[in-house]
Amino acid sequence: MVDRNMCGAERPRLFSSKELKAGESLSFVDKDSLLFFVLSGEVVVVAHNADCKRIRCNQFAFICPKYIYAGKVIEDARILTIDIFPSLQVHGLYPLDSLRGECSHITKYRFQIYEMGHVFELFLNYVYSCLEYDIVCNSFDEWKLGELFLLLQKCYTQMELASLFYPIVSKTFDFKTFVLSNYRRVKSVNEFAALAHCSLSTFKRRFIEEMHEVPGKWLTDKKMVDILDELKNENKSFVELSEDFHFSSRAHFSTFCKKHFGKTPQMLRAELRTSYKYIK
């Protein structure tokens, strides 16, 4: 299998092109949900209830591991896949909110195969060619996602889209929850934007809208609060704290503390220890 996933880019790509040979097996277990487009050839996918569905040339489906766990290539195929998960709503392009009303009319989810349509087919083959010849940039995902969802909304009814995305419609993305759950994982605003799979400018704009503060200052302020809280833990060494907060060295950690608190980590811990004993 040939898989072009643009690994040299700054962040993992959502779009991926694959050439699959007849007889190859596919596993969707422990993976993100994805849009699965068959541009040529034929693939059969298997549901957890053992039901099999064939996705033929110029057809596509939404693969959610909760319902579809495996597949097999029946005929040599060219596949385009797009990882889909709730945090993609950071782009303002993901149509989940507009689909929730339609989903309320769906009493039971049924996995379905969709025809591409001529315009949609042209667009997807163009994207495949861009991936194949590495005609991409760091904003590729964001631009193409916008075009993709525009075409989806133009080519399919709201009810069809509701049926397509039904497995994750209930998992709407809360930006504030995303920020609070992940800020300790990143070293910089650039990494945070990459984690959200969007451009730096888009992330900054959304951050200010939701958090009412620029992300750089917010991250620094949160780090200061968390450092003071962690310094109370006498069992943690300064080296461990340096690693926990993504500092390159203990010296870098000390420099940060002197810059923002006017004191070294040792001095801060001593003061916190004294304050804690006084309060007790």
pLDDT tens for 108-117 read 788 999 999 8
**One-letter amino acid for residue 268 of the chain:** L
**How many Cβ atoms from other residues are within 10 Å of residue 10's Cβ?**
11
Q: Is the pLDDT of residue 94 over 60?
A: no
Q: How many residues does the chain have?
A: 280
C-alpha angle 2-9-24 in degrees, rounded to nearest 5: 15
Residues 153, 30 share a domain: yes
Residues 225, 207 share a domain: no
Residues 231, 154 share a domain: no
Please name the residues in contact with 269: beta carbons below 8 A apart, sequence gap of 6 or more.
231, 232, 234
Residues 273, 148 share a domain: no
- What dihedral angle (degrees, nearest 10) is formed by the CA atoms of 133, 139, 140, 144? -160
Can you give the pLDDT at residue 169?
Answer: 73
Select from 153, 26, 48, 53 the least CA-distant residue to 113.
53
Pairing of β 114-115 and β 2-4 = unpaired
Contact between residue 210 and residue 218 where contact means Cβ atoms under 8 Å apart: no
Select from 183, 171, 278 the least CA-distant residue to 224.
183
**One-letter amino acid for residue 95 of the chain:** P
Range of the domain at 196: 175-212
Residues 84, 193 share a domain: no
C-alpha angle 199-204-206 in degrees, rounded to nearest 5: 95
Residues 196, 162 share a domain: no
Question: Which one has a higher pLDDT value, 195 or 221?
Answer: 221
Percentage of the residues of the chain whose pLDDT score is greater than 90? 50
Whole-number mean pLDDT of the chain?
Answer: 85
pLDDT band at 84 (very low <50, low <70, confident <90, very high): confident
Residues 191, 73 share a domain: no
pTM of the predicted protein model: 0.61
Question: How far apart are the C-alpha atoms of 56 and 113, rounded to whole Å?
Answer: 9
Can you give the pLDDT at residue 165?
Answer: 86
Last residue of a domain, one of 106, 137, 169: 169
Q: In CATH, what number is assigned to the domain containing residue 25?
A: 2.60.120.10
Residue 230 burial class via C-beta count within 10 angstroms: exposed 0-12, middle 13-18, buried 19 and up: middle
Last residue of a domain, one of 187, 212, 237: 212
Residues 118, 244 share a domain: no
Question: How far apart are the C-alpha atoms of 54 and 33, rounded to whole Å?
Answer: 18
**How many Cβ atoms from other residues are within 10 Å of residue 167's Cβ?**
18
Contact between residue 22 and residue 75 where contact means Cβ atoms under 8 Å apart: yes
Q: Is the pLDDT of residue 78 over 50?
A: yes
pLDDT band at 95 (very low <50, low <70, confident <90, very high): low
Tokens 């900054």 correspond to what residue?
Answer: 204
Q: What are the start-end ranges of the E strands in 85-235?
A: 114-115
Q: Is the pLDDT of residue 273 over 90?
A: no
Residues 156, 51 share a domain: yes
Select from 167, 208, 215 the least CA-distant residue to 194.
215
Domains held by the chain: number: 3
Contact between residue 197 and residue 90 where contact means Cβ atoms under 8 Å apart: yes
C-alpha angle 222-224-226 in degrees, rounded to nearest 5: 70
Q: Is the pLDDT of residue 158 over 60?
A: yes
Last residue of a domain, one of 112, 146, 169: 169
pLDDT band at 6 (very low <50, low <70, confident <90, very high): very low
Strand, coil or helix: what is 203? helix
Helix (H) or strand (E) holding 15: strand 15-20
Residue 79's beta-bridge partner residues? 18, 38
Contact between residue 192 and residue 182 where contact means Cβ atoms under 8 Å apart: yes
Residues 204, 158 share a domain: no
Can you give the pLDDT at residue 87?
Answer: 58
Residues 118, 85 share a domain: yes
Residues 267, 226 share a domain: yes
pLDDT band at 2 (very low <50, low <70, confident <90, very high): very low
